[in-house]
A = this chain, B = another copy of it.
């Protein structure tokens, strides 16, 4: 990993925070509470990995960074809506997110549902605006891709599988498909969106999708490894949770050693997809190392 990488990640996260601060609705009128809840959920936290991928893919191909920041912000709105709804009592019933009370704990369930709906709606609104890209064909394409990756054959479908398929019915195929839909689909959108706003052709988009697929899966496997090997203090949460819950993970299904090998192999494969971009791909390659070396 280039020494500069962590600085670059933090720097883009800052730019995204500034963009979101400006692009999110401001609280006005009797309905102000819903805009407050949306801002509470989105602002002030997270590595902003998805927007980072949009921005760095655009930078690699020579796209406009302002476009990438708007599209990255839209993607972050969509990602955060999914967290707000997943945290609801009828779903995962979580009280804490990024170290603070979840939206329904702070604002009540009804406002949490509506704030999630508002973020989802706003994500598409941002993609439709000219600030996302001057060419309306690109904007319409981004809308279609986000609807697909965020929809029932993508992220939403992944969440459905996660809450309906019992742990004992999960084999390696199922948890791979689950990861591809629940988290992989938005990572795929991130790099493809970075490509689309930069005028990438089909072949380039396919290479980017290959990178996203392998990197996303490596990310999930590393997550499972950290749950076994991680340092609870560094992680900021309990470790060994998956095993205690009898969860089917890449580690429980493959064993620790094979899971580590697989993550490493996928990481190399992810970087391989970036060969056509030469030295310009350094940041996206560093992202793979970051994902595999992170301790939390």
Contact = CB atoms under 8 A, between A and B. Distances in A.
A238 interface: no
A111 B159 CA distance: 10
A46 interface: no
Interface in A144-164: 144, 146-148, 150-153, 156-161, 163-164
Contact of A113 (B91, B148, B165, B181): B91
A88 interface: yes
Interface in A69-115: 81, 85, 88, 90-91, 108-111, 113-114
Contacts of A91: 110, 113
A68 interface: no
A31 B114 contact: no
Given A90-B109, A111-B160, A114-B159, A30 B151 contact: no
Interface of chain A: mostly helix, strand, loop or mixed: helix
Interface in A108-157: 108-111, 113-114, 116-118, 120-122, 124-129, 136-137, 139-144, 146-148, 150-153, 156-157
A35 interface: yes
A157 B34 contact: yes
Given A110-B91, A136-B137, A144 B129 contact: yes
Given A30-B161, A33-B164, A164-B30, A124 B110 contact: no
Most chain B beta-carbon neighbours within 10 Å: one of A85, A121, A137: A121
Copies of this chain present in the complex amount to 2
A193 to B, nearest CB: 13
A29 interface: yes
A156 to B, nearest CB: 5
Contacts of A144: 125, 128-129
Contacts of A141: 128
A90 B108 CA distance: 9
B117 A85 contact: yes
Given A110-B163, A128-B141, A157-B29, A121 B136 contact: no
A143 B118 contact: no
18 contacts: A25-B151, A25-B152, A29-B161, A30-B161, A31-B157, A33-B164, A34-B160, A35-B152, A90-B109, A90-B110, A111-B160, A113-B113, A114-B160, A122-B147, A124-B146, A128-B141, A128-B144, A128-B147
Closest 6 CB pairs of A and B: A125-B147, A128-B143, A90-B109, A31-B157, A128-B144, A31-B160
